[in-house]
Amino acid sequence: MSPAPSEAGADHARVSHAVATNLRTLRAARSWSLDRLAQRSGVSKGVLVALEAERGNPSLTTLCRLADAFSVSLTDLVEVHRKPELRHATLDEATTLWRGPNGGSGRLILSTDPPGAVELWWWRLEPGEARHSEAHASDTREALLVIAGEVTVHTDNRTLTASAGGALTWPGDKPHVYRNDTDQPAELVLIVTVPESSARA
């Protein structure tokens, strides 16, 4: 089921504000110009200007490119306030960063602090939905646990499928896709490890 328009709008406004604030902060900390960030991330300067002015609606692909460029977790882009080391999160509070054409969603629950940050996601893929991902930063790794239904992962010319209770892992620094090829919804927990990088310099 698709979210109510007001719910989706609230998510969009919250994410747009956080991304604008955090992009400016991250750029300032590194003394990066918009041109330099555009070069490192592959995101156009025009899009960056719009994002920093809270006029953009960044896709998950754009957010991943920016996080990779800064060598931070996606949480560092979409949350404004740093939470304490011992933190609690619920699915209801999770930030929706991907919406599928049939009502599926990808929700970022939380991430650990660097070095070696780990992102924890909850995904629901409706029948026929797929999340196509570009290669992330070098040494990124991903793993998932299927909670319900069946999920197929394709990467590096290999395809594997897991059903409820099964787990898969693969290198996130290569193009990959996870999808639901069945006629029933699939739910999964996804973990992404974010490598440290010289991009912090």
First-to-last C-alpha distance (Å) of the chain: 44
Question: Are the beta carbons of 99 and 151 closer than 8 angstroms?
Answer: no
30-44, 70-84, 117-131, range with the lowest pLDDT: 70-84
Does position 113 have pLDDT exceeding 90, yes or no?
no
Does position 91 have pLDDT exceeding 60, yes or no?
yes
pLDDT band at 83 (very low <50, low <70, confident <90, very high): low
115-119, 126-130, 134-138, 188-192, range with the lowest pLDDT: 115-119
Whole-prediction pTM value? 0.82
Q: What domains lie within the chain, and their CATH numbers?
A: 5-78 (1.10.260.40), 91-200 (2.60.120.10)
| Structure-model confidence comparison of residues 81 and 36, the more confident one | 36
Does position 112 have pLDDT exceeding 60, yes or no?
yes
Does position 154 have pLDDT exceeding 90, yes or no?
yes
∠ CA(92), CA(189), CA(66), 5° rounding? 80
* Percent residues over pLDDT 90 in the chain: 65
User: What is the model's pLDDT at position 4?
Assistant: 52
User: What is the model's pLDDT at position 75?
Assistant: 87
Per-residue burial over 103-116, b if 16 or more Cβ lie within 10 Å, else e, is ebbbbbbbbbeeee
Does position 80 have pLDDT exceeding 80, yes or no?
no
Does position 1 have pLDDT exceeding 70, yes or no?
no
Does position 55 have pLDDT exceeding 60, yes or no?
yes
